[in-house]
Amino acid sequence: MNDISQSPQRRQIAPGGQRSLLPSPEQRERLRKRRAFKDHLSRYGIGIAGIGVVAALAMIFVYLFSEVAPLFRSATVDPQASYSVPGVDADDELVHLSLERYNQLGTSFSQLGNVTFFETEDGAIRTQFELPIPEQATTTAVATAVANANAVAYGFDNGQVSLGVLEYELSYPDNLRHIEPDLALPLGDEPITLDEAGRAIEVLGVQVSDRGTYIAAATEDGELLLASFQRRENLMTGEVSIEQDTVTLPAFDGEPRQILIDGRFRHLYVGDDGGRIHHYDIGNLDNVDYLGAVQVTDQGQVTRMAYLNGTVSIIAGTSDGQVRQYFPVRQSGGQHSLEHIRDFARYQGAITHIEPEYNRHGFLVGDDQGYLGIHHTTAGQDVFQARMTEGPLSRIAVSPVNTMALIVDDQRQLQRAEVANRHPDISLSSLWGKVWYEGRSEPRYIWQSTASTDAFEPKMSLMPLTVGTLKAAFYAMLFATPLALMGAVYTAYFMTPKLRGKVKPTIEIMEALPTVILGFLAGLWLAPFIEGSLPAVFSVLLLMPLAMLAFAYAWSRLPEGIRRLAPEGWEAALLVPVILLVGWFCVAMSPHLEIWLFDGNMRQWLTDIGIVYDQRNALVVGIAMGFAVIPTIFSIAEDAVFNVPRHLTQGSLALGATRWQTVLGVVLPTASPGMFSAVMMGFGRAVGETMIVLMATGNSPIMNFNIFEGMRTLSANIAVELTETAVGSSHFRVLFLAALVLLAMTFVVNTLAEIIRQRLRKRYSSL
């Protein structure tokens, strides 16, 4: 027989000699250690999981910041090499400098008509051409078309002009890129006479487009001439002819210094020696109108003028270092007036050169103190400014891809510099402030990120998208919150458990309905229905509550025996026929109300009184998104109301309070933290909703809270445009910024909601 006292797994012996069912001390110790291990495992596991969630959220922020941060990096200009300007001798003068898009070849134009293509790496000459220059003539004026258009015109002292256009042929022999430059002469191999009187051309302006060529000139006696050239080719013989039409422009007081012509051949500007810019309407050469002048500076002269990309905005530099932007604005009478838009950082010396960037609304500026600056008009910011040379900067050329600049001083010394300036068009003011965009009559908030041409000025204000997000969420919550909260209170406190067991799961299962289905129904069925039955919508809003109150009052006045036929807690089922009947009545009466009150068309009536109505509008979004939000708010709020301790409600009823007094005085304060959380959860769902607002609105980024107009939200805009934008572009990064704003918005709202919820819990914890 085994000795029990020596057994390692002995059990306690109960009185009477029977084996005890209680665990032995050793077993209790093992169980205690096992529970302690599980407790530690759970505690650390849950802690690690919580930290993981926080880390994941933080990583989302970090990733979004990494995509957004480059938008706000400063520009840099890093000189790489220096050499004398190729093709320009000591007895010659550099009159124009350009770069091709691959940064391999630069081109210098000399006053004697020499066109030299050179390697930007070391200045080695690749090839040279000569522009046609009249015998015994001297170059008196030179003009270029627009930013990097590669068209250069020469004016001579005998009244003639020559035009040359740079061309590049790209090939890949042996899989290596080879650029073959050429000089085209679109107006022929010989100079063309602009002034029949043979007067010297002192100032020249040129513009080349697919519509033809315009050249304007100021002669030595101050007369202004404008000539249009059309190239005609005979389809049978292939013979090319040039048709020329020359007109004289109205004169003004002052001496012309520079001439600009826009790309649509509508506007011509002349800067004079008195600090003014004169404006001409040249849309009709048979009737050129002088539209007046603007005073750029009272203390100096306009030393340089240049068109920005798109030939709408003018950048004017003055002898006292001012840099200003102007563009024509349509007035109420239909004419355009040149308006001062904005100023940029002032320079220490006179402005010697302004070079526009090729595919965006930025430009480079040089002054006679050797300073180089980079600016952008849409962002309204001064991106870069530093002293590059000891003497004046005479010429600047910038690459079409804005990654390289050639800088020439007054000693014909050229610097090749790498330029890092990826996103100058983005600033806090362009994202959140009003911007005066080209073609607009005043500063506005606008989102219009892309267009068909590079001349388009991107408009990337996040204000319309943010307002649209709040607008959609506001109307959705306006529709959903009262229904969800009141439904939750009634279901949890007044409804019979059997009916509650059917209603609550039914509403909660609505949350599983895909929002794309709701958006589809809202866009293709609900929006046309509301448009065709507008009086019914407002009739329902007015008559439905009145009908429900009237039915409740009538029910309360019925004999008690009749009222007892409906079991307690089932009264809501009696309202279903009333709701259906009132809804049917409102829809049936809608056409008659429209005829009686709105002349047969309520939409047109709204338009006549100045209210814009779009078919897919905030009303449609509010109803559709409200159905998506109601289950979230209802479920959380109903649980909060249902979990109010029974002893509180029973105590209130025992003290003589009615059920409604108990609801208002006890249930709602106690459940308020949970109900508030429900509303905030619903708001977060509404803010982040994408498919419903994408399909049920016109996606118009407008700045108003008109319930009859649409909107564009941050989430819908990201879904629409992210797949179409170039990776790494300003547009791409601004969309990530929109995502960051959306995430920050929901984070802040949820944080505030949690703070308020905790305060409500603390306030009513004594209950």
482 close to 713: Cβ distance less than 8 angstroms:
no
444 has pLDDT over 80: yes
d(CA 154, CA 466): 52
pLDDT at 767: 59
pLDDT tens-digit profile of 187-207? 888 899 999 989 999 999 999
Is 70 exceeded by the pLDDT of residue 173? yes
Strand partners, 292: 279
Burial class (CB in 10 A: 0-12, 13-18, 19+), 609: exposed
User: What is the residue whose two structure tokens read 């249930």?
Assistant: 667
* 199 neighbors 248 (Cβ within 8 angstroms): no
The DSSP code for 757 is: H
pLDDT in tens, 474-486: 999 999 999 999 9
Between the two ends of the chain, the Cα-to-Cα distance in Å is 65
For residue 159, which amino acid is it?
G
- The CB density around residue 99, as the number of other CB atoms within 10 Å, is 23
**Nearest-angstrom CA–CA distance, 168 and 183:** 9
* Separation CA 325–CA 55 (nearest Å): 47
Model confidence at 149, pLDDT cuts 50, 70, 90, reads low
**Residue 7: per-residue pLDDT:** 45
Residue 4 has pLDDT above 60, yes or no: no
By the 10 Å C-beta count (0-12 exposed, 13-18 middle, 19+ buried), 339 is classed as middle
Instruction: Give the closest residue to 305 by CA, choosing from 205, 201, 202.
Output: 205
pLDDT band at 6 (very low <50, low <70, confident <90, very high): very low
Arithmetic mean of pLDDT, 563-586: 86
Point out which residues pair with 106 in neighbouring strands.
99, 118
The whole-number pLDDT of residue 649 equals: 86
pLDDT at position 20 is: 65
Assign 563 a pLDDT band (cuts: 50, 70, 90).
confident
Q: What does the pLDDT read at residue 17?
A: 56
Confidence band of 1 (pLDDT split at 50, 70, 90): very low
* Of 335 and 98, the one with more pLDDT: 98
Confidence of residue 136 (pLDDT cuts 50, 70, 90): confident
Please compute the mean of the pLDDT values over residues 205-231 and round it to a whole number.
91
Is the distance from CB of 712 to CB of 729 less than 8 angstroms? no
How many of the other CB atoms lie within 10 Å of CB of 18?
A: 8
Helix/strand/coil for 388: coil
State the pLDDT at residue 655: 87
C-beta neighbour count of 467 within 10 angstroms:
19
More confident residue, 452 or 302: 302
The percentage of the chain sitting over the pLDDT mark of 90, rounded to a whole number, equals 56
Q: What is the mean pLDDT of residues 671-686?
A: 89
Cα–Cα–Cα angle for 524, 529, 531, nearest 5°? Answer: 105
DSSP 495-539: S-HHHHHHHHHHHHHGGGS-HHHHHHHIIIIIHHHHHHTHHHHHH
The pLDDT tens digits of the residues spanning 696-709 come to: 888 889 898 999 99
Q: How confident is the model at residue 544 (pLDDT cuts 50, 70, 90)?
A: very high
Q: What is the 3-state secondary structure (H, E, C) of 560-618?
A: HHHHCCCCCCCHHHHHHHHHHHHHHHHHHHHHHHHHHHHCCCHHHHHHHCCCCCCCCCH
Q: To 5 degrees, how large is the angle CA 749–CA 750–CA 756?
A: 90
Lowest-pLDDT choice from 179-188, 232-241, 556-565, 615-624: 232-241
Q: What is the pLDDT of residues 405-436, one digit of tens each?
A: 999 998 899 999 999 999 999 999 999 999 99
How many Cβ atoms sit within 10 Å of the Cβ of residue 80? 11
How would you classify the pairing of strands 192-193 and 160-171?
antiparallel
Helix (H, G, I), strand (E, B) or coil at 222: coil
pLDDT at 18: 61
Task: Assess contact for 232 and 170: CB atoms under 8 A.
Answer: no
3-state secondary structure 672-732: HHHHHHHHHHHHHHHHHCCHHHHHHCCCCCCCCCCCCCCCCCHHHHHHHHHHHCCCCCHHH
Q: What is the largest CA-CA distance in the chain?
A: 142
Cα gap 378→427, rounded to integer Å: 9
Map residue 329 onto helix, strand or coil: strand
Residue 147 pLDDT exceeds 70: no
pLDDT of the residue at 234? 74
Q: What is the Cα–Cα distance from 270 to 279, expressed in whole angstroms?
A: 7
Mean per-residue pLDDT of the chain? 89
Q: Say how far apart CA 693 and CA 241 lie, in whole Å.
A: 57
